[in-house]
Copies of this chain bind each other. A is one copy, B any other.
Amino acid sequence: MISFESDYTQGAHEKILEQLLKTNMEKLSGYGDDKYCESAKKKIREACGCPEADVHFLVGGTQTNLTVIASMLRSYEGVVAADTGHISTHEAGAIELSGHKVLTLPQHDGKLSPDVLRAYLAGFYADANHDHAVFPGMVYISHPTEYGTLYTKAELEALSATCKEYNIPLYMDGARLGYGLMSSDTDATLVDIARLCDVFYIGGTKVGALCGEAVVFTRNNTPPHFMTVIKQHGALLAKGRLLGIQFDTLFTDGLYFDISRHAIRMADKMRDIFTSRGYEFFINTTTNQIFIILEDSKMKELESSVAFGFWEKKDPTHTVVRFATSWATTKEDIDILEKLL
């Protein structure tokens, strides 16, 4: 039995565990005020080509989205997102619990199109009654998206320009950012992202860490007393070292990029196998998530020897399923899959 169920089914990259072990008995201050957090922040600033960036570590994705978004919006503002965005669908109303509406726009390939965004913003302010509606106060995108797709540099530039025009921040959810950066078909680098986004996060949980996401404010735009805001959301880890050590390891000698590249190579192989076997793709992706349309009988058959994720019903007799690779996927897993198909 092999598994491609998701990219968070296994623990952490071995170098992370080694480093946790090695530093375990050091006495360090709590709440992120330790040398490993400092070192990790420095390395992230360098990787982003953004010396003035302010970096904070949080534990998980929903927590990060809610803390960042709530801290940057005024009460009368909502966050604009594709209707398939993670905050729109699978975060149990965390954004609304914090008092803010998710203003959903139609997605294209899981993405928020610059044209759709521009038309929406122009329309909002053109409406004479907009004072009775929720103001767009921020734009949320995920990269890769929930559908495994990627924004091009040109798309990010267009989104960023529109946000600037309307004076609202552009926020990128990078839960799987590593896989997006190392995709075989992308022109948007981490430096581009740091330049074009006002704030984004570099996902750790799904890219080799036990837990942890690194939030990057790129323009001296950290909300005041952000540490207190993190605390207030129950998101401040007492043993901040756990996050610092993990990100310090991931950003030492390019580990984050190497393990992401590995996942992409495994995914590319998998895509080749599906293609050569004549499987139908639900959507074309170049990252670590592959969406396949299976006949239900075929799905049942496969389930006995390989684990994958249910995505959605396509029609009464077909289902969309997801195969995900990760930093931990092995060549052997892929070979077994090849034989199975």
Contact = CB atoms under 8 A, between A and B. Distances in A.
Interface in A1-29: 3, 5-6, 8-12, 14, 17, 20-21, 23-29
B237 A60 contact: yes
Interface residues of A, number: 78
A76 to B, nearest CB: 4
A40 interface: no
Contacts of A45: none
- Among A10, A66, A70, residue most surrounded by chain B Cβ atoms (within 10 Å): A10
Interface in A24-64: 24-30, 59-64
A128 B9 contact: no
A11 B23 contact: yes
Given A76-B92, A101-B93, A134-B96, A8 B30 contact: yes
A71 B92 CA distance: 14
A63 to B, nearest CB: 3
Interface stretch (A179-187, A190-198, A228-236): A228-236
Contact of A96 (B61, B78, B237, B239): B78
A300 interface: no
A9 B28 contact: yes
Q: How many copies does the complex hold?
A: 4
Contacts of A101: 93, 96, 101-102
Contacts of A11: 20, 23-26, 239, 241-242
A8 B62 contact: no
Contact of A239 (B78, B89, B99, B205): B205
- Among A25, A62, A131, A232, residue most surrounded by chain B Cβ atoms (within 10 Å): A232
A206 interface: yes
Interface in A56-89: 59-67, 70-71, 74-76, 78, 89
Given A75-B71, A92-B133, A232-B76, A242 B211 contact: yes
- Among A14, A28, A78, A128, residue most surrounded by chain B Cβ atoms (within 10 Å): A28
Contacts of A133: 89-90, 92-93
B10 A91 contact: no
A227 interface: yes
Contacts of A278: none
A93 B235 CA distance: 13
A212 B165 CA distance: 39
Contacts of A96: 78, 96, 99-101, 134
Interface of A: 3, 5-6, 8-12, 14, 17, 20-21, 23-30, 59-67, 70-71, 74-76, 78, 89-94, 96-102, 128-129, 131-135, 205-206, 210-211, 224-225, 227-229, 231-239, 241-242, 307, 310, 328
